[in-house]
Amino acid sequence: MLTINQYVKAESLQQAYELNQKKNNVILGGMLWLKMQKKSVGTAIDLSNLGLDTIEETEDSYLIGAMVTLRTLELHKGINSMTNNAVSESVKHIVGVQFRNLATIGGSIFGRYGFSDVLTIFMALDASVELYQKGIVSMEEFSKMPYDNDLLVRVIIKKQKMKVAYLSQRNTNTDFPVLTCAVSNIEGTYRCVIGARPKRAVCLYDSNGILKDGITQESAEKFGEFMKGQIITGSNMRGSEEYRKILSGVLSKRALLKLKDYEVTSYAD
């Protein structure tokens, strides 16, 4: 059971950050993951008074506050139109609507969970995180960083011309994924992000130039084989290392073929 000794509704990010430096204090997101833990928390730090529950659109970016829920993201018109609905597809299999109405982007990204649909899609979008102490860091770099006591303030997606497709494999609907896969082409650069390996998601690139002449059935087959050869997977109760490798090849090929059928989207769409 989770026990909380003190509760503070932070009045500023500075106060939240300072409180979070003490080892047994925690930041609260939607508390869905936290409440599953057996832990005694000193001070629970609530960010809900800091205006971080909105998605702000600027001329060149979407700024997603740490307290924005997965459901808000799922329904956001601008982000979904820019991403061929891949963002919506990435979160809509997570438990259920009521759950997604509580789970936050901060709680979903900061933990860099090995099973994360959310980390997978944001890496493929070439997004960044804004950390209170370290500033803006690319999601790919953040995914490799060790845990610390920083504070995730927002996630930033740059408005760029892109095509994106998201696929996941689940043993049963709404379960944790066996494998996640997001493929994107952003301003000509292909990214293939594989998550739930079951380690943290990784981003692979078309480093052999397989797609230099575009996507065809043949180049997609080769791309899938290349990803299968590159990816490092592991085994757990949901699937074996070998099964995940095979899935990586199949899902990356299928996601790539989806891109072939998409129009290039832009923030103006």
Ligand X SMILES: Cc1cc2nc3c(=O)[nH]c(=O)nc-3n(C[C@H](O)[C@H](O)[C@H](O)COP(=O)(O)OP(=O)(O)OC[C@H]3O[C@@H](n4cnc5c(N)ncnc54)[C@H](O)[C@@H]3O)c2cc1C
Contacts with ligand X by CB under 6 A lie at 26-34, 36, 47, 66, 94-95, 103-104, 106-108, 110-111, 115-118, 151-152, 176-177
Closer Cβ to ligand X, 78 or 111, answer by number: 111
Two tokens at 170? 């689940």
Give me the least distance between CB of 268 and ligand X, in Å please.
30
Q: Which residue, 132 or 262, has its beta carbon nearer to ligand X? A: 132
10 Å Cβ neighbour count for 19? Answer: 20
To ligand X, the closest distance from the beta carbon of 116 in angstroms equals 4
Tokens of 86: 């891949």
When the beta carbons of 123 and 215 are compared against ligand X, the nearer one is 123
Query: Which single residue brings its beta carbon nearest to ligand X?
Result: 107
- Which C-beta is closer to ligand X: that of 33 or that of 205? 33
Q: How far is the CB of 177 from ligand X (least distance, A)?
A: 6
Spell out the long-range contacts of 174-179 with Cβ–Cβ below 8 A and sequence spacing 24 or more.
174/93, 174/94, 174/95, 174/96, 175/238, 176/115, 176/238, 177/93, 177/115, 177/117, 177/238, 178/238, 178/239, 178/243, 178/244, 178/247, 179/239, 179/244, 179/247, 179/248, 179/251
Q: Which is nearer to ligand X, 34 or 257 (CB)?
A: 34
Q: Residues near 200 by Cβ (< 8 Å), separated by ≥ 6?
A: 112, 113, 114, 116, 119, 143, 144
Report in angstroms how near the CB of residue 161 gets to ligand X at its nearest. Answer: 27
CB of 171 to ligand X, least distance (A): 11
Which among 94, 1, 10 is positioned nearest to 52, based on CA atoms? Answer: 10
Tell me whether residue 47 or residue 167 sits nearer to ligand X (CB atom).
47
Nearer to ligand X, 36 or 97 (CB): 36
Q: Identify the CA nearest to 251 among candidates 240, 243, 239.
A: 243
| Ramachandran category for residue 157: left, alpha or beta (phi over 0 → left; psi -120 to 50 → alpha) | beta
The full DSSP string for 132-150 is TTTEEEEHHHHHHSPP-S-
CA distances from 228 to 182, 186, 222, 236 (A): 14, 22, 10, 18
